[in-house]
């Protein structure tokens, strides 16, 4: 048999896949592995969403107080009692002003959204 003919025949033979009795099972296993990988990815995204929500909420709350704390440390020469009094006043002010309530609600809302997202994802996977 001439070489090119034989090589063409060999390529043809290689292109005829053997029949596997468990071909459907193999395809199902690959599909299951794909689904599992996808589920893991979604859980990771959900987890990252929650973490980001919590961090954002924490940032929103702490930025309100950090400026006040920095001011306190700069004015270290002041009388401690006066400072504590001022700080308490400021704290009360911060908590009672509409802006801080907004921030608090915003943070709570973000956390709830993140939680809802994660629960939805988990339910979808179950």
Partner 1 sequence: MSRDRPPTGHDVELAALAAAGDRRAYGELVRRHGSAVRGLLRRMGADSATADDMAQDAFLAGFEQVADYRGEGAFGGWIKRIAARCYLRKVKREARMILTDEAQDGDDPTALNEPRTANRIDLDDALKALSKGERLCVSLCYGGDWSHAEVAEALNIPVGTVKSHVKRGLDKLRAKLAPPTESARREAHG
- Stretch touching partner 1 by CB under 8 A, among 17-25, 47-55, 61-69, 112-120: 17-25
- CA-nearest of 67, 56, 69, 66 to 103 is 56
Q: How does DSSP assign 78-104, residue by residue?
A: S-HHHHHHHHHHHHHHHHHSHHHHHHH
Confirm or reject binding of residue 45 to partner 1 (CB under 8 A). Answer: no
Please provide residue 46's backbone torsions phi and psi, each rounded to the nearest 5 degrees. -60, -45
Closest CA to 125 of 40, 3, 45: 40
Does 119 contact partner 1 by CB under 8 A? no
At 22 the three-state DSSP class reads coil
CB of 5 to partner 1, least distance (A): 10
Cα gap 96→118, rounded to integer Å: 32
Q: x/- contact string, 25-44, with partner 1 (CB under 8 A)? A: -xx-xxx-xxx-xx------
> Does residue 2 interact with partner 1 by CB under 8 A?
no
Q: Which is nearer to partner 1, 25 or 67 (CB)?
A: 25
- Regarding 4 and contact with partner 1 (CB under 8 A), the answer is no
* Cα–Cα distance list, 85 to 54, 68, 69, 76, 111 (Å): 31, 13, 13, 14, 32
Site string for partner 1, 68-107 (x = CB under 8 A): ----------------------------------------
10 touches partner 1 by CB under 8 A = yes
Q: Which residues bind partner 1 (CB under 8 A)?
A: 1, 6-7, 9-11, 13-20, 23-24, 26-27, 29-31, 33-35, 37-38
């Amino acid at each position: 048999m001439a070489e090119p003919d034989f090589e063409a025949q060999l390529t043809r033979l290689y292109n005829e896949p053997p029949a596997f009795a468990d071909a459907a099972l193999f395809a199902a296993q690959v599909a299951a592995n794909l689904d599992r990988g996808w589920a893991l990815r979604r859980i990771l995204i959900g987890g990252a969403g929650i973490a980001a929500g919590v961090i954002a909420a924490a940032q929103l709350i702490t930025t309100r107080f950090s400026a006040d704390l920095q001011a306190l440390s700069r004015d270290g020469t002041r009388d401690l009692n006066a400072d504590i009094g001022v700080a308490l006043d400021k704290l009360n002010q911060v908590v009672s002003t509409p802006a801080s309530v907004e921030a608090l609600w915003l943070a709570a809302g973000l956390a709830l959204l993140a939680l809802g997202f994660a629960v939805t994802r988990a339910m979808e996977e179950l």
